[in-house]
Amino acid sequence: MKDENDLPEIKVTTKHELRGVLQPKLVRMISFTVITVSLVACTVLCILAIWKFTESDAVWRAIATFIVVSVATAIFTFVNERLG
């Protein structure tokens, strides 16, 4: 009888390379940085508005800007990787 360890190993690997017009890793890093900086700035403005150091109108504009920037960078990253 053959032992289980005598069976040949079968390794299946899939090659999934990210491709794009620009380097996908660089685009992801830039997108992450932009979204992180926007989130930190928005958070600081929210905290300042809570403590009444800024107007609440600035907070809503910051949140709207954060959403627009986040969506734009996410779309750019997607388009670069899928269609690039």
Residue 6 belongs to some domain of the structure: no
Q: Is the pLDDT of residue 58 over 80?
A: yes
Rg (CA), the chain: 23
Residue 48 tokens read as 């300042």
Domain that holds residue 43: 19-83
The tens digit of pLDDT for each residue in 25-51 reads: 999 999 999 999 999 999 998 899 888
Q: Which amino acid is at 78?
A: F
Q: Is the pLDDT of residue 5 over 80?
A: no
Please give the share of the chain, as a percent, with pLDDT higher than 90. Answer: 45
Question: Could you give the CA distance from residue 71 to residue 13 in angstroms, rounded to a whole number?
Answer: 33
Residue 75 belongs to some domain of the structure: yes
Listed in order, strand segments (DSSP E) in the chain are: none
Residue 20 tokens read as 């794009």
Residue 8 belongs to some domain of the structure: no
Residue 74 belongs to some domain of the structure: yes
Domain count, the chain: 1
Question: Could you give the CA distance from residue 53 to residue 79 in angstroms, rounded to a whole number?
Answer: 40
pLDDT band at residue 1, thresholds of 50, 70 and 90?
A: low
